[in-house]
Structure 1
Amino acid sequence: MLEKAKNTQEAAKINWGKVKNILSSAGVLIALIVLSAILAILSPYFLEVENLMNIARQSAINSLIAVGMLLTILTAGIDLSVGSVLALSSVVMAILIKNMGINPLLGMIVGLGVGAFLGFLNGIMLTKLHLPHPFISTLGMMNIARGLALILTKATPISGFPPVVQFIGAGSIGVVPISFLVVIGVYIIYHIFLTRTPTGRYIYAIGGNIEAARLSGINVEKVLVIVYTLSGLMAAVGGLVLVGRVNAAYPLAGLGYELDAIAAVIIGGASFMGGVGTVWGTLVGAIIMAVIRNGLNLLSVSPEWQTVIIGSVIIGAVYLDVLRRRMETKTK
């Protein structure tokens, strides 16, 4: 009898452990469901199809930037330049298409190339100049890219783009925004990249322990350059979607976007210490940010208070990361 009772207790412990693992991995999704349920109660318009598609459209730009930010945070780094890179890449594209009459598709490709090149420079400054932290290199790039965007446009927006440019940011297939379909496609690619390729595994290894990664033969500098190049590229993709959505490119675009991207990554379960995080968690984190903004608008919260609330969410997201690390330390 005692043996049977002991086995029953052990089984209960194992089952509870499984439940804890499921809750831990699905926690961010549960948070999104709870938040959506609360907003559905507070506003009858929240669950309308048009509003849900609006949330999908609003989340697209941050989702695209956030997946690039995820790569940097996985390596225990950060990219503060993404908002400015978005602005510069989009205004270069706009100048080529509107002012120089270049083919729109070629102009978009060049714009994406500008974003990737700026990210590449961030990686080079970090690895070849041996700057102490990516905070320094990306902070410098944030100012350089923003200044160049203002110089190139003389601080004036450029508007009126051909349909092919607008389609990516404002088009839809049925009720589903093209921009959100782009997000899903990008996230599938990055999921495969991080989980099925050697470079993806190296990124996690570097974030877990950079010295151990070096000793195991990983070319850390090469991987970091790839990571920051991809972060710049994703900022440029976000800029392309933004231009299509508002039908304008302006040098002050992307202000504060780096904070939203960081919040989405951390809310999605990644750690500032590196080595922990998933693309799907990041996507849910970006959607949570969009749901919060949408809900505040539906509830007629003033822009001033919205800023306060979003700032509090960012602080809360970082604190959640601190709590997660404490819990992991206690369980070890």
Structure 2
Amino acid sequence: MEHKPVVKEEYIKRQLVSSKPFSIKSFFLQWEWMLVIILAIVLLVNASLSPYFLSGSSLRDGTMVFLDKAYIVFPMALIMILRDIDISVGSTVALSSVVMATLYNSLGIPMEMAIVICLLVGCLCGFLNGLLIVKFKELSAVIITLGTMILYRGIAYIILEDQASGNFPEWFKLLGWGYINGIPIILIGFIIVAIVFTLLLHRTTFGRQVYAIGNNPTASKFSGVQIDKIKIIVFTLTGLMAAITALFLASRMGSTRPNIATGYELDVIAMAALGGISTAGGKGRMLGTIIAVFIVGYLQYGLGLINISSQTLLIIIGLLLIFAVAVPKVKVANLLKRKGSS
């Protein structure tokens, strides 16, 4: 008799729903509260170092400096929950922006159409990543996206060489520096994207399937979850968000060149990991990721106000990541120790 796998919603829910009753102690021991404390420390330290930091206008305008890369954090969180990784996002940003600028400045295509093509290029890059990952399962996502990282940035250099391309319309510059009712456009967009991805991960069947795949790919496959399709969708979303980042970054800089967004992939992965997204897959929440975006972002912005070197910033972010990885493991080890002694 032919076996037909059946999608079992009960199985997917079992991957997510805890059988433990609500506990106030457990609630306040969640990783997100630790991130809130870290964010408060970052703000207080920056305020003590610079008298210009802790003001409404400074905190508001500071988001313009770091929120462009934060758009990629949300789909990267989904990728990490799936037990994968994408280190080509910085190159996707570069290629998307270079294509847009070249179409507008060299070929005379209207800026609106160039923006649409920029988004399509990002989607295509993400789709190619996902397709290669599901077709060549014997290769890790790191190896595949390392290859596409080199490929995408190489194409950007072929198109524009080592030149810059700008001269964008005045209205396009408002994307990176404009306000709506006193709120930066980039912050408004971030809030909208954050809500969409939070609902997608935590309130939809698609999100439950992402968790299920990350928890147990084999069981998910035999439960009828379309693993390959979901991975392609998630990687395509990552490409789309990278293209949106390209729009904000090019608008803020006033131009683009093939070497922009270098190192963005490390910042994005750091934000997701600090936010509690497990590199082993199947764990993590968007709330922690959102808080981590502002921790890393305000850390970079605040220390930049007093001209702290980028090397020092890397050391601090590295220490935060070690802390983020070590604390959950210590908690698990203590829990197992208590169970063993009881």
Is TM (by shorter chain) over 0.5?
Answer: yes
2: CA distance, partners of 1:193 / 1:274:
17
Flag the structure with higher helix content. Answer: 1
Report SS of the residue matched to 2:29: helix
Contact 1:85 1:145 in 2 (8 A): yes
1:87-106 Cα distance to aligned partner (Å, 9 max, x none):
00111111112221212122
Relative distance call for 1:36 and 1:23 in structure 2 (3 A) is: farther
Partner of 2:237: 230
The Cα offsets for residues 139-163 of structure 1, whole Å up to 9 and x where unpaired, read as 1110000100111101211112113
- 1:63–1:282 Cα contact (<8 Å) kept: no
CA contact (8 A) 1:264 1:286 kept: yes
Measured after TM superposition, the shift of residue 325 of structure 1 is 5.6
Is residue 2:70 matched to residue 1:63?
yes
Aligned counterparts, 1:286-297, within 5 A:
286-297=293-304
Structure 1 vs Structure 2 CA RMSD? 2.2
1:81 corresponding residue in structure 2: 88
Whole-angstrom distance in 2 between the partners of 1:22 and 1:38: 24
**Per-residue CA shift, 1:102-146, capped at 9, x if unaligned?**
121221111111111111111111101224211111111100001
Q: 1:72 aligned to 2:79? A: yes
Unaligned runs of 5+ in 1: 1-13
The 1:329/1:244 distance shift into structure 2, 3 A limit, reads farther
1:167 Cα deviation from its structure 2 partner: 1.8
Question: Residues 64-143 of structure 1 correspond to what in structure 2 (within 5 A)?
Answer: 64-143=71-150
Partner of 2:9: none
TM-score w.r.t. the length of structure 2 is 0.87
2:254 and 2:334 mapped to 1: Cα distance? Answer: 47
1:324–1:119: structure 2 CA closer, same or farther, 3 Å change rule? farther
Following the alignment from structure 1 to structure 2, what is the Cα–Cα distance between the partners of residues 327 and 207?
Answer: 24
Matched with 1:270 is 277
In the alignment, is residue 216 of structure 1 matched against residue 223 of structure 2?
yes
**Inter-partner Cα distance in structure 2 for 1:193 and 1:328:** 32
Q: Relative to 1, partners in 2 of residues 1:220 and 1:70: Cα closer, same or farther, differing over 3 Å?
A: same
Cα separation, 1, equivalents of 2:90 and 2:40? 29
The number of aligned residues is 319
**Equivalent residue letter for 2:281:** G
1:241 maps onto 2:248 in alignment: yes
How far is 1:76 from its partner?
1.1
Larger deviation, residues 60-69 vs 301-310:
301-310
Match of 1:22 among 28, 31, 36: 28
Give a deviation string over 1:168-227, Cα, whole Å, max 9, x none.
Answer: 212112432101111111111111211222211111111111111111110111111111
Q: Which residue of 2 aligns with 1:11?
A: none
Q: CA deviation at 1:269?
A: 1.3
The unaligned stretches of length 5 or more in structure 2 are: 1-19
Distance in 2 between residues matched to 1:265 and 1:211, nearest whole Å: 25
TM-score, length-normalised on structure 1? 0.89
